[in-house]
Amino acid sequence: MFDNVGWGKKKRLSQIIAGDGRAVMLAIDHGYFMGATHGMERPAEAIKDLLPHVDSLMLSPGIVRNSVRPDFGRGMVLRASGGNTILDPDIDDESLILTAKEAVRLNASAVAVSVFVGAEHSHQTIINLTDMITDAAQYDLPVLGVTAVGKALKDKKEKRYLTHASRLVAELGADIVKTYYCEGFEEVVAKTPVPIVVAGGPRLDTYEDVLTLCYNAIQMGAIGVDMGRNIWQSDYPAAIVQGVNAVIHKNFKVKEALQLVESLCNEATRRKEYSVETAQDIKDSKVH
């Protein structure tokens, strides 16, 4: 993998893809079009306990400057396209919001550009990707191409469309493709000649569903996940992120990973109860 790229790009990719060829990316860039999303109201606080369990963060440039400590030692994939919000009719009218030079100045490991293949602004978003690929090439900066769907494409999270969009993104020169998991996902992987990471999408019903998504994606050839809401909108983000990490880096089966998550959840509940009891004891001892 990546035999034909320069040392600088290999070095940056190694901050995203671990030595085992797998990647756990934590996506926290949602605010660039959703604003202060539930679970990510205070990014620095929300990610504090998750960082040891991820290889990289995917985030917006403002959040790097305001919420990530400069001694953060893992990869950072900077969102480089944007310009629409959930208050607009749709979110595909994007432009580039970052230059490769600025991304390098922020010590990015890669930049991410969304393409909305087949949406109203499809052409423009594809050109955003190719403009960034050309710009980033000057610095050996990898580009992650995101096959995004807005309202108009919301029913397109299926094999035929995702294969088409992912292949396009790879053809145009992206180093990694981020897409959605779907039934028949192995075909998306087989026809996309660069590594693929999958998004998590909106919150799933159970931890088992989240772990099954990760497990199936890996079994069918994805190198990992770039997951957000199913981690930080969950009741126990630090537990589920460790389950996801175990599936991706330790080859845990769903059942084993679920046991790990459940034991971490129980431990966290016990700790919470203990601190509530202790606080009550202190209060009571002051009263008497």
Active site residues: 178
Q: How far is the CB of 144 from ligand 5RP (least distance, A)?
A: 9
Q: How many residues bind ligand 5RP (CB under 6 A)?
A: 15
Cβ proximity to ligand 5RP: between 157 and 191 the closer is: 157
Q: Which is nearer to ligand 5RP, 10 or 203 (CB)?
A: 203
For position 58 contacting ligand 5RP by CB under 6 A, the verdict is yes
| 99: CB partners within 8 A, 6+ apart | 135
DSSP annotation of 78: E
Q: Binding of ligand 5RP at residue 111 (CB under 6 A)? A: no
Shorter beta-carbon distance to ligand 5RP: residue 181 or 252: 181
Ramachandran angles phi, psi of 122, nearest 5°: -50, -55
Q: Does 249 bind ligand 5RP (CB under 6 A)?
A: no
Q: Is 29 in the site for ligand 5RP (CB under 6 A)?
A: yes
Among 201, 204, 212, 268, binds ligand 5RP (CB under 6 A): 201
Kindly report the CA angle at 28 between 157 and 200, in degrees rounded to 5? 30
- Of 25-33, 152-160, 181-189, 235-243, the segment contacting ligand 5RP by CB under 6 A is 25-33
Q: 3-class secondary structure for 113-165? A: EEECCCCCCHHHHHHHHHHHHHHHHCCCCCEEEEECCCCCCCCCCCHHHHHHH
Instruction: Give the other-Cβ count within 10 Å of 122's Cβ.
Output: 17
Cβ at position 58, least distance to ligand 5RP in Å:
6
First to last CA, the chain: 68
Radius of gyration of the chain (CA): 20
Shortest distance (Å) from residue 285 CB to ligand 5RP = 45
Q: Is 199 in the site for ligand 5RP (CB under 6 A)?
A: yes
Minimum distance from CB of 243 to ligand 5RP (Å)?
15
CA distance 231 to 285: 39
> Among candidates 41, 87, 89, 90, which has minimal Cα distance to 67?
41
* Minimum separation from the CB atom of position 79 to ligand 5RP (A): 7
User: What is the spatial distance between Cα 283 and Cα 288, in angstroms, rounded to a whole number?
Assistant: 9
Token pair in block for residue 115 = 């393409």
In this complex, which beta carbon is closest to ligand 5RP, that of residue 15 or of residue 233?
Answer: 233
Q: Which of residues 212-241 bind ligand 5RP (CB under 6 A)?
A: 226-230
Query: Interaction with ligand 5RP in 142-181: which residues (CB under 6 A)?
Result: 146, 148
In the complex, the smallest distance separating the C-beta of residue 10 from ligand 5RP, rounded to whole angstroms, is 24
Give the DSSP letter string of 189-218.
Answer: HHT--S-EEEE--SPPS-HHHHHHHHHHHH
Residue 27 touching ligand 5RP (CB under 6 A): yes
Q: Give the binding site for ligand 5RP (CB under 6 A).
A: 27, 29-30, 58, 114, 146, 148, 199-201, 226-230
